[in-house]
Amino acid sequence: MATWKMFLLQDSASPLMEQLSFFHDHTLMILLMITVLVGYLMSSLFFNKYNYRYLLEGQTIEVIWTILPAVTLIFIALPSLRLLYLLDEINNPLVSMKSIGHQWYWSYEYTDFKNIEFDSYMIPTSELKMSNFRLLDVDNRAVLPYNSQIRLMITAADVLHSWTIPALSVKIDATPGRLNQISFLLNRTGLFFGQCSEICGANHSFMPIVIESISPPFFIKWVSKMSET
């Protein structure tokens, strides 16, 4: 989760988010190289004594400084496109979870099993325990197994919402009358926090998302416990 003074990405909890972090670092390195080169060239202009008054063109240098930026852009564009299409891939999901955005809470349905469904409300500040995170914890967490391909189907009941968990590289709109899907894989256990990121009304800030990532045997236990009630 995000903590104080963080200015880079959160630690990844899925393979795709890890790739996105690598891509972010790769792109920043290219940006740094360009900044240093251009900074050096511009500062060296201040100390230039010679003026080529009759120099009007230089074909060679113009070819070089046209092609070099184009090649640099390819080094960013190709990995970016690779990730874009990888993020859209649904690889044989083991579990499907449905999430519905409401004003202002999320509800979850696990229809692979005996129609498990529940609402997930933020815990109000007045009811917080010492172990809770203010504005981030919910009463019923979405439980999911780790190391399993998960398909998330998402829709909304009233207005636009957006189901967003940065550590999982999931950010998908919940749209009324439309079912969106995305897939991800949790590579460790733990709690993963997210928030709605589509301005959806007065309490937009107060509909957080919490994923509880547990081992598959415990997930099966949770499912059987939930379907009894």
Q: Does the footprint of ligand CUA cover residue 26 (CB under 6 A)?
A: no
Nearer CB in complex with ligand CUA: 141/161: 161
Residues numbered 170 to 199 that lie near ligand CUA (CB under 6 A) are 196, 198-199
Does residue 212 touch ligand CUA according to CB under 6 A? no
Q: Is 161 in the site for ligand CUA (CB under 6 A)?
A: yes
Nearer to ligand CUA, 123 or 207 (CB): 207
Q: Does 154 bind ligand CUA (CB under 6 A)?
A: no
Give the interface size with ligand CUA as a residue count (CB under 6 A).
Answer: 8
- Residue pair 162/195 in contact (Cβ under 8 Å)? The answer is no
Q: Which of residues 96-115 bind ligand CUA (CB under 6 A)?
A: 101
DSSP codes of every residue in 63-120: HHHHHHHHHHHHHHHHHHHHHHHHHT-----SEEEEEEEETTEEEEEETTSS-EEEEE
In angstroms, the CA 11 to CA 190 distance is: 12
**24-49 b/e (C-beta count within 10 Å ≥ 16 → b):** eeeeeeeeeeeeeeeeeeeeeeeeee
Alpha helices by DSSP H, the chain? 15-45, 59-87, 216-228
Question: Which part of the chain contacts ligand CUA (CB under 6 A), choosing from 25-33, 37-45, 130-138, 200-208?
Answer: 200-208
| Per-residue tokens: 105 | 């809470």
208 near ligand CUA, rule: CB under 6 A: no
* Residue 209 in contact with ligand CUA, rule: CB under 6 A: no
Q: Which residues contact ligand CUA (rule: CB under 6 A)? A: 101, 161, 196, 198-200, 204, 207
